[in-house]
Amino acid sequence: MAPKMTKNQMRRAKKKEQKKAAQVTPTPEPEIKKDTEPEPQPEAANDPVKVEEDLLEPDVAAFTISEDDPNFAMYKDIMNRFGATAEEEQAVKDAEVGDKGEVFYDDDDEIPDEEEEANKEPKLSKKKRKERDKLSVAELKALVKKPELVDWTDTSAPDPRLLVHLKSYRNVVPVPSHWSLKREYLSSKRGVEKPPFALPKFIQETGIAEMRDAVLEKQDQASLKQKQRERVQPKMGKLDIDYQKLLPVSNKAGTNTLW
């Protein structure tokens, strides 16, 4: 008894038989018919111009629908909206003609005279317009609440009233007065030697200046080792003034002292 074939083996055997049958049976050649007329081809589409006309203006009357039907009137209105009407085409043509413009010839009588041109006001520059619209100091003082704060330079500000209003605020730090000077600050003090500081007369009478000069002279004569020692262990009471010297200065002369 032959073994039973599996599904794959059966499928392969079936394919082999089909191939053999295809090789044995020749393919029939198609018969050529003689004296046959060529098939009539469909007529070409109408001209593009005609198609465009049909698209732009659909023939609504070709529908076989009763005109009394309300739906017919509704759809007819819709189709007319999508189609370009003759009135719209004429409006487009008129607009194209209008864009070209027309030339108008004026008469010689309408030419402006020289007197009229001379009477016309010349165009002012930005600087002159600013000077024309500039307020005077008196006008600015009349417009603000605190005229005592108005300076002569406030009228040249972009907004003078706002500037004076800001200056009238409490605890406002004013701008230094030398900002408007053309020369630099303290330039007039150049070359002027500042005198050295001098003690008041009643202090000079105590003799403290002579005592201080003597101490400074003694420090200059000291060696480096002595200076370092005094820096670590300074000696106090070098410039003590006797009270008996201060008494006649304060009581007899009657001048106020620092003590």
Domain boundaries in the chain? 51-86, 134-180, 202-252
Take residue 250 and report the two structure tokens written for it.
Answer: 């304060």
The count of residues in the chain is 259
pLDDT digits (tens, 9 = 90+) for 14-51: 998 888 888 766 555 655 555 555 555 555 445 544 44
Contact 115, 89 (CB under 8 A): no
pLDDT digits (tens, 9 = 90+) for 167-207: 999 999 988 888 888 888 878 777 778 888 888 887 787 78
pLDDT digits (tens, 9 = 90+) for 60-80: 555 566 777 777 777 777 777
Per-residue pLDDT at 48: 46
User: In sequence order, what are the residues at sequence separation of 6 or more whose Cβ sits closer than 8 angstroms to the Cβ of residue 117?
Assistant: none
pTM tops 0.95: no
Please state the separation of Cα 164 from the chain's center in Å: 29
Mean pLDDT of the chain: 75
